[in-house]
Amino acid sequence: MTLLFILLTNDFFGNAAVCEQVTNYGYLMTKIGSVSNGD
């Protein structure tokens, strides 16, 4: 558990940009889905 925490902490700054991109992509997919569903 401690090792996992260390790995997550070390990767946090590197993964922050990736997570942001994934979030933006998910938001975009949601908007496209809403448009195609007619909402």
Q: What digits encode the pLDDT tens for the residues 1-39? A: 677 776 666 666 667 777 788 888 888 888 888 877 765
* pLDDT at site 35: 79
Q: What letter does residue 15 receive in the DSSP assignment?
A: H
Residue 6 CA, distance from chain mean position: 20
Q: In this structure, what is the dihedral angle of CA atoms 22, 23, 27, 32, given to the nearest 10 degrees? A: 0
CA dihedral defined by 10, 16, 22, 27, rounded to 10 degrees?
Answer: 150
Return the pLDDT at 14: 66
* 35/31 Cα distance (integer angstroms): 6
